[in-house]
Amino acid sequence: MAIVVDNDTRLVVQGLTGSEGRFHGLRNRSHGTNVVAGVTPGKGGQDVEGIPVFDTVAEAVTQADANTTLIFVPAPFAADAVYEAVDAGIRTVICITEHVPAHEMLRIHPYIRTKGVTMIGPNCPGALSPGKANAGIIPAEVFSPGSIGLVSRSGTLTYQIGYELAQLGLGNSTIVGIGGDPVVGSSFTDILELFEADDETESVVLVGEIGGNEEEKAARFVAERMSKPVYAYIAGFSAPPGKTMGHAGAIISGSAGTAQAKKEALEAAGITVGTTPTEVAQLAARGSLR
């Protein structure tokens, strides 16, 4: 079954005619994703290697049956792109765009929730269900199909862990990069809830980092609501307070959001936290071979 994206995904790419959108849209299609449309206002009627381009998301929904969108439009237009997709009836929104203003997300978040829409990102690598569908910039060739769910705030660190799992002969049900911004559409908890309900997922690896308290909330969720084993890795133990470490959301504010506090919260919930990416992959491997 997998989560977020699967064989039922019918993808529209907002910004398909831009260089990033075109490159990744076509890559996603070559992975077997059903890319049914692109949207670029003013370019309706064109096509990108056979993928029809529409002026509006509404047309992509009514004429190409799109149910999921992948957003590559520049940051000043990204919020508008999300609202357009939601209003057109899209149920799953994946926003890759970085630098979406944080205040936009304060409005987008309650908007998508009231409409029952699942949003991943912004500032994220997207979602990949190996062998089924890839929506975003995750290098699919690194991962193989399997039963471990992977959820993370970062890109390459996740690829590293997925790659190490693959070296150990293990694969993933779905890999979800939830994004590195202070407010994102789906939190760790939202994705853990989907993994818990997914019959293809047997265990989960959570990759967190400094900033905010979503890892702490996830720990509580795992302790109270999850039956599947969860393994974790946290980045940023040596990060100085008050400095943004690459991701807009990766910042220790005062004494809040430290890696140590997150590790302690996760361990208190019975989750084993690996010291290195390699170790967490080994922990998950040992768990799934048991």
Partner 1 sequence: MVKAQVLTGGRGKAGGVKLAASPADARARAEEILGLDIRGHVVGKVWVESASPIAKEYYLSVTFDRGAKKPLLMLTTEGGVEIEEVAATNPDALARVYVDPLVGYQANEGRRLVYGAGIFDPSEQKQVLAIVERLYRCFATEEAMLCEINPLIVTPDGEVKALDAKVTIDDSALYRHADVAAMRDTAAGDPLETFAREKGVTYVHLDGSVGILANGAGLAMSTVDLVVVAGGRPANFCDLGGGGRAEGVVDALEVITRDPQLRSIFFNVFGGLTRGDEVARGILTALERIDISVPIVVRLDGTNAEEGRQILVDANLDQLHVEPTMLAAAQRAVELAR
Among 19, 116, 199, 255, binds partner 1 (CB under 8 A): 255
Choose, from 24, 103, 109, 247, the residue flagged as catalytic.
247
Q: Does 117 bind partner 1 (CB under 8 A)?
A: no
Mark 125-164 with x for binding to partner 1 (rule: CB under 8 A) and - for no binding. Answer: ------------xxx-xx---------xxxxxxxxx--x-
Instruction: Choose among 207, 209, 275, 206: nearest CA to 244.
Output: 209
How many residues bind partner 1 (CB under 8 A)? The answer is 62
| Cβ count near 91 (within 10 Å) | 13
Q: What is the DSSP string of 230-287?
A: EEEEEE-TTPPTT---SSTT---BTTBS-HHHHHHHHHHTT-EEESSHHHHHHHHHHH
Instruction: State which of positions 229-248 bind partner 1 (CB under 8 A).
Output: 233, 235-240, 243-248
- Per CB under 8 A, the segment of 2-10, 35-43, 127-135, 175-183 that binds partner 1 is 175-183
Q: Which is nearer to partner 1, 66 or 133 (CB)?
A: 133
CA–chain centroid gap for 44, Å, is: 29
Task: Give the H/E segment covering residue 177.
Answer: strand 172-177
Maximum distance among all Cα pairs of the chain, rounded to whole angstroms: 56
Does the annotation count 247 as an active-site position?
yes
The least distance separating partner 1 from the CB of residue 188, rounded to whole angstroms, comes to 12
Determine the Cα–Cα distance for residues 181 and 75; give it in Å rounded to an integer. Answer: 13
- What residues line the site for partner 1 (CB under 8 A)? 27, 75-76, 99-103, 105-107, 109-111, 137-139, 141-142, 152-160, 163, 180, 182-183, 207, 209-214, 217, 233, 235-240, 243-250, 254-255, 259, 275-278
